[in-house]
Amino acid sequence: MKQADLIWMNGELVAWEDAKVHVLTHALHYGTGVFEGVRAYDTPRGTAIFRHADHIDRLFRSAGMYLMDIPYTREELRAATHETIQRNNLKSCYIRPLVFRGAGPMGLFPLDSPVEVTIAVWEWGAYLGDEGKRLGVRGKVSSFRRISSNAVIPAAKATGQYVNSVLAKIEASKAGYEEAILLDDRGMVCEGSGENLFVVKDGVIATPGFAADILGGINRSSVITIARDLGYELVERDIARGELYLADEVFLTGTAAEIVPVREIDGRAVGVGPVTASIRAAYDDVVHGRDPRFAAWLDPVRAVATPA
């Protein structure tokens, strides 16, 4: 992670060091925030944000599920993101919009606390490491089950919900693995701590559906489209833990991680194979603007006037 110069905070750009909040910020105490992870890529048409509208839509949906009214329009947040990337002079970057309950009345009832919005951008390489991206990561099935929709709202990308991923990530990391794989509360395979999961067996690709309490990943949906476009059969269905050990290939998808093969699960080797490689090659072409058929997924960063 490389620090940038400016962060957009409640309508203005402030120095990275000055983007601060009060200690009584509601979201700090109770996790009442929602966020997005987005990437912008260097393309032949300049810097372009991948599936920007879909990320902004998910941000609004997440906020809506927690009854937070975002005090900006979709277009205002889009323009603010363009401006933040430009003013930081970044050709490619990770983008982190955050909507959270600020300092207001203390106590669990959140609806009287102000809603604040920030957008940070920074250069961020391979989330699970360059070697992991190339050769595959080692995954461990977590003893922590994925949060269920009987307790919270797994479809919302809400900050407080991420203590679940954090616990799983710590456990996997302390055991010497790069990533945790969480089962849902029924014991079926759900996803990684910050990625969706796909299994390849006999040429057919499977990924858990929404009944498994997944986060509806935007890269998951991109990969489903790309894989079908490449001619693969792809099904959304429940996946039993044992299938992980029998799979020909397993891979993870997410905005931060992109597409990462899993080369070992719970000490059992998994092949890093041609299906993952071909989907990843096609995906790389799409995000870098080399496949004109998917140009609509790219939001080119427009010129914005720089204040005198």
Ligand X SMILES: Cc1ncc(COP(=O)(O)O)c(C=O)c1O
Q: Give the x/- contact pattern for ligand X in 86-125, rule: CB under 6 A.
A: ----------------------------------------
Site size with ligand X, rule: CB under 6 A? 14
Q: Which stretch binds ligand X (CB under 6 A): 40-48, 72-80, 211-219, 228-236?
A: 211-219
Among 9, 218, 239, 270, binds ligand X (CB under 6 A): 218
Among 94, 255, 265, 297, binds ligand X (CB under 6 A): 255
Q: Which stretch binds ligand X (CB under 6 A): 87-95, 126-134, 167-175, 248-256?
A: 248-256
d(CA 208, CA 198): 8
Residue 256 identity:
A
**Shortest approach of ligand X to residue 103 CB, angstroms?**
26
CA-CA-CA-CA dihedral for 260, 96, 64, 169, to nearest 10:
50
Selection from 110, 108, 183, 198 nearest residue 147 by Cα: 183
Which residue, 136 or 192, has its beta carbon nearer to ligand X?
192
Q: Which stretch binds ligand X (CB under 6 A): 18-26, 130-138, 218-226, 282-290?
A: 218-226
- Please report whether residue 194 would count as binding ligand X according to CB under 6 A: yes
Which residue, 163 or 235, has its beta carbon nearer to ligand X?
163
Residue corresponding to tokens 């960063």: 301
Residue 279: CB atoms within 10 Å: 26
- Please report whether residue 62 would count as binding ligand X according to CB under 6 A: no
Contacts of 132 (CB under 8 A, 6+ apart): 126, 178, 260
Backbone angles phi, psi at 224, to 5 degrees: -60, -45
Selection from 87, 103, 80 nearest residue 32 by Cα: 103
Which residue, 139 or 217, has its beta carbon nearer to ligand X?
217
**Shortest approach of ligand X to residue 52 CB, angstroms?**
12
Sign for the CA dihedral angle at 135, 141, 143, 145 comes to positive
Q: Which stretch binds ligand X (CB under 6 A): 81-89, 112-120, 252-260, 292-300?
A: 252-260
- Please state whether beta strands 258-265 and 137-141 pair in parallel, antiparallel, or not at all (unpaired): parallel
**Which of the residues 133, 140, 157, 169 is marked catalytic?**
157
Q: Which stretch binds ligand X (CB under 6 A): 96-104, 122-130, 193-201, 239-247?
A: 193-201
CA 228 to chain CA mean position, Å: 22
Among 37, 97, 132, 139, binds ligand X (CB under 6 A): 37
Contact 29, 75 (CB under 8 A): no
Catalytic status, residue 2: no
Among 32, 43, 62, 196, binds ligand X (CB under 6 A): 196
Angle (CA) 261-157-163 rounded to 5° is 80
Among 132, 254, 261, 289, binds ligand X (CB under 6 A): 254
**Shortest approach of ligand X to residue 45 CB, angstroms?**
23
Residue 254 identity:
G
Q: 3-state SS of 139-182?
A: EEECCCCCCCCCCCCCCCCEHHHHHHHHHHHHHHHHCCCCEEEE
Among 195, 213, 249, 258, binds ligand X (CB under 6 A): 195
Which residue, 88 or 165, has its beta carbon nearer to ligand X?
165
- Please report whether residue 81 would count as binding ligand X according to CB under 6 A: no
Backbone angles phi, psi at 95, to 5 degrees: -125, 130
Burial 124-137 (b: 16+ CB within 10 A, else e): beebbeeebbeebb
The set of catalytic residues is 157
Give the residues lining the site for ligand X (CB under 6 A). 37, 165, 191, 194-196, 215, 217-220, 253-255
